[in-house]
Amino acid sequence: MINDKYANKIVDIIQNFARKSSLWVVAYGTGCGAIEIPPTMTSRYDAERFGIRGSATPRQADVLLITGYLSTKTLKRVIRTYEQMQDPKYVIGFGSCTINGGMYWDSYNTIKALDQYLPVDVFINGCMPRPEAVISGFIKLQELIKEGKANGAQKYKENLEWYRENQRKVIKNWKMPDYNW
């Protein structure tokens, strides 16, 4: 076991460098922003040159991309998906509707602020954000990871009670397994 504080720091730097350079995104198009993901991932914008690529299952993924508004029905599935993901994990809120409801500010079925329910590391605004904006959001996330500041998952664990309370407020029928890691 390494106890030296300099050694620890070096390990952190290497770890963060490795994490930042391979961000695998869960393939879950939760909202209409999912339409800008194919152009981002394919030949023109080619996000793979930044180490960003899709992953079919949440258990092998690092980034949960919330592409737009979340209806309460989807929020339940998204929480489940997020809790299935393994550390390190990050959340990107994509589109204006994750920030303040966007044009659905008075809809009875969508949540208005994503960070009340899940810890968001980076928001990308716009309706909808261009692929360039998506990539710049990812680069911002990479910078945060490199500096060790993208600690949303840590925040979620520490404030689980608060998040749970908010989540239970909008999800009426709470039938979910406990979050235990």
Partner 1 sequence: MREKETTLYLGPQHPGVTGNMMVKLKVAGDTVVKAETHVGYLHRAFEKLMEVRSWMQCFPIVCRICVPEPDPNEENLARAVEEIEGREVPERAKYIRVMVLELARMASILLWMGGQSGSAGLYTMPQWSVGDRDYILDLFEELTGGRVYHMYIWPGGVRRDLPEGFEDRVLKTLDYLESRLPDYDHLMFENAIFQKRAKGVGVIPKEKALEWGVVGPPLRGCGIKHDVRIDEPYEVYDKLDFIVPTYEGGDVWARAMVRRQEFEQSISIIRQVIEKMPKGDYYNKVPNPFNWIVPPGEAYVKTESVRGEFGYYVVSDGSLKPRRIHVRGAAYVHGVSLLEKILVGANIADVSFIMNSLGVCPPEIER
Partner 2 sequence: MNLEKENKFAKQINETFHSAVVKVQRERRIIVELRSDLIPPFLSFAKEYLSFIHMAHYSCVDWLEENKFELVFMLWSYEEDVMLIVKTKIDREKPEFVTIKHLWPQAETYEREIHEMYGVDFKGNDRLGEFILEDWDDLPPMRRDFDTVKYAGEHYFTRPGREDAQDVRETIARHSGEEIPDFAKKYSIRRDEE
Binding site for partner 2 (CB under 8 A): 72-73, 76, 99-101, 105-113, 116, 166, 169-173
Q: What is the DSSP letter of 71?
A: B
* Cβ 178 to partner 1 shortest distance, Å: 20
Choose the contact partner of 128 out of partner 2, partner 1, none; CB within 5 to 8 A by kind. partner 1
List residues binding partner 1 (CB under 8 A).
26-32, 34-36, 38-39, 42-44, 54, 56, 58, 69, 71, 73-74, 77, 81, 103-104, 106-110, 127-128, 130
Alpha helices in the chain (DSSP H): 5-20, 37-41, 72-84, 96-100, 131-146, 152-158, 160-170
Neighbours of 106 (CB within 10 A): 8
H or E segment at 64?
strand 63-67
Q: Which does 56 bind (CB under 5 to 8 A by kind): partner 2, partner 1, none?
A: partner 1
Cβ nearer to partner 2, comparing 45 with 163: 163
Q: Name the DSSP class of 117.
A: T
